[in-house]
Amino acid sequence: MGNKSKYLKAFFFISLVWFSFSFIQSDQPKSLHIKTKLNYFSTDNIGNIYTVKEDELLKYLASGKLFARYSNLKLGNITTIDATNPLKLLLYYRDFQQIVFLDNQLTANSEPISLEALGYEQTDLVCAGANNSFWIYNKQNNELVRFNEASKKTASTGNLKQILQVDLKPNYMKEHNGYLFLNSPETGIYVFDIFGTFSKIISLKNLKQFEVNEDIIYYQKDSLYCSYNYKLFEEACKSLPNVLNTIDVKYANNKIYLGFKDSLLVKDFR
């Protein structure tokens, strides 16, 4: 009886140690390393990763497996990719003022959209909108313009420098939940509704880019990655891993994505 008791105690002790070890192991951050040359990258809401190197776009699955590639040598380098809708990616070629839409196989199912043909010759920024719409920021008129799926203008702001009485120098924009967020590093993030009506300014300055999820804006600040609740005015920051020499950093799907010139590192970041 005594030996049996000893065996049971030993069994339970070993089981407890194994369980604890398994728990610790499973709690460790998982990471993914993709060898790929890139200038910048983007992600979508289902975990796919899109890397851009000059004129070439590569799509990787969440597992890190290369899925597809796209290039259009006639249009030059890809200036912007917007993967807000993973079924309809937006690519912008600033040098040729052209927009290309791709499906989830990275296939273009329609002709490129010429912004010059629409009457806009100095478009700095382009982003995707809801219901297959898209926005442009036209430098010549300092205005935001929204187009529907048929490339018909549905909204515009007018000259923002005159309306807001500020010297805007926007470098990034993104639509989320019916609002457009326009980033001007020197003054902050300007928020507009889908009709082009100015709503508010969020006083986050010196940002290169950001992500928006509900009421929270995510952004890099030196060696930190921060979240800012713009309704509660609360900021929280965490130290970034492996931040040295990164050329692009993003947060999505509870993961941090670190882009380098020759690779992409993905780590859990909760």
Please give the pLDDT value at position 253: 85
Domains identified in the chain, total number: 1
Is 224 within the bounds of a domain?
A: yes
Is 178 within the bounds of a domain?
A: yes
- How does pLDDT run across 83-116, given as a tens digit for each residue? 999 999 999 999 999 999 999 999 998 999 999 9
Is 13 within the bounds of a domain?
A: no
In this structure, the dihedral spanned by the alpha carbons of residues 160, 158, 209 and 55, taken in order and rounded to 10 degrees, is: -130
> Any idea which residue has 């805007």 for tokens?
168
Q: What percent of the chain has pLDDT over 90?
A: 84
The answer to whether 102 and 108 have CB atoms below 8 angstroms apart is yes
Is 104 within the bounds of a domain?
A: yes
The 10 Å Cβ neighbour count of residue 46 is 12
- How does pLDDT run across 20-29, given as a tens digit for each residue? 333 333 344 4
Is 10 within the bounds of a domain?
A: no
Q: What is the CATH number of the domain that holds 165?
A: 2.120.10.30
Is 38 within the bounds of a domain?
A: yes
Is 1 within the bounds of a domain?
A: no
Q: How many residues does the chain have?
A: 270
pLDDT band at 13 (very low <50, low <70, confident <90, very high): very low
Is 17 within the bounds of a domain?
A: no
Residue 181 belongs to domain spanning: 31-268
